[in-house]
Amino acid sequence: MKQKLYLYTRFERLWHWTQAFLIIFLLLTGFEIHGSLEIFGYEKAYLWHVYAGMALVILTAFAIFWHLTTGAWRHYWPVKEKIPQICYYYLVGIFRGEPHPFEKRPDQKLNPLQRLAYLFLKLVLFPLQFVTAFLLLSYQWWPALGISASFRKVAYYHTAGAFAFLFFLIIHVYLATTGKPWYSHLRGMILGWEEVELR
Ligand code: HEM
């Protein structure tokens, strides 16, 4: 039997899609700065990259505030249960039509593997990208700030972070289409309501 659950509030949906748009735009403009793409022209790509980056920093500040005040940060607290079963499901079970080992509920929206992946994104990848971006932007003030690093090395870490975001995005989009029917997770993140199989 299926049940309709309200999983994503209006703020979460707005945050999710704005973040998705900004990250894709940052990847496009960033790889144009890097010299791998030619879309907007270098000057525009640079300026828009910095504006989009600042928008992402502001959005992230709002999201942190929202998660702390609503208690929604608990969804990212790591748990050990069922991780091997979930890995098995994504590697084998999904191709045999087996049911997902994790039951989604409003009080546990993320499966243990998602918790770990998103926690890594929030605690490692976002800070890496923001700190390296701040360093790249403040290059001329490094002597005054007492920073002695190599600009090339900082740019290298920022690019490595961008590849990690790209890798995450590809897997994320694939997993977003593995619901039953394939668009059920996507519809949930657009409308807030998702049809979930009851056990
Ligand atoms: C998901 C987030 C982000 C991604 C995927 C991303 C991606 C990239 C990439 C691929 C480059 C080219 C690096 C190179 O070739 O040296 C770049 C450069 C740059 N990014 Fe980002 N970026 C992100 C966030 C930010 C943020 C938040 C800011 C600041 C507000 C920012 C500011 C810059 C600047 C100033 C450069 C130029 C560095 C230079 O002068 O060579 N980026 N970014």
Domains parsed from the chain with CATH numbers: 2-197 (1.20.950.20)
Closest CA to 115 of 77, 84, 87: 77
Closest CA to 115 of 63, 169, 75: 75
Say what the pLDDT of residue 48 is: 98
Say what the pLDDT of residue 105 is: 87
54 C-beta closer than 6 A to ligand 1: yes
pLDDT in tens, the chain (199 residues): 788 999 999 999 999 999 999 999 999 999 999 999 999 999 999 999 999 999 999 999 999 999 999 999 999 999 988 899 999 999 999 999 999 999 888 889 999 999 999 999 999 999 999 999 999 999 999 999 999 999 999 999 999 999 999 999 999 999 999 998 999 999 999 999 998 877 6
Question: What residues does 2 pair with on adjacent strands?
Answer: 197
Alpha helices in the chain (DSSP H): 10-34, 42-70, 83-91, 112-120, 126-137, 142-145, 151-176, 184-191
What string of DSSP letters covers 94-124? GGGTPPPSS--BTTB-S-HHHHHHHHHIIII
List of residues 6+ apart from 171 with CB closer than 8 A: none
Distance 153 CA to ligand 1 centre (A): 13
Say what the pLDDT of residue 81 is: 86
Nearest CA to ligand 1 atom 7: 30
Say what the pLDDT of residue 103 is: 87
**Chain centroid offset of residue 173 CA:** 11
Distance CA 189, CA 196 (A): 13
Question: What residues does 195 pair with on adjacent strands?
Answer: 4
110 C-beta closer than 6 A to ligand 1: no
Say what the pLDDT of residue 106 is: 87
25 C-beta closer than 6 A to ligand 1: no
Distance CA 182, CA 175 (A): 10
Distance 133 CA to ligand 1 centre (A): 6
pTM (predicted TM-score):
0.94
Distance 130 CA to ligand 1 centre (A): 9
Say what the pLDDT of residue 199 is: 67
26 C-beta closer than 6 A to ligand 1: yes
48 C-beta closer than 6 A to ligand 1: no
Nearest CA to ligand 1 atom 9: 30
Give the residue, out of 42, 136, 140, 168, with the most ligand 1 atoms within 8 A of its beta carbon, to mutate for a pocket test: 136
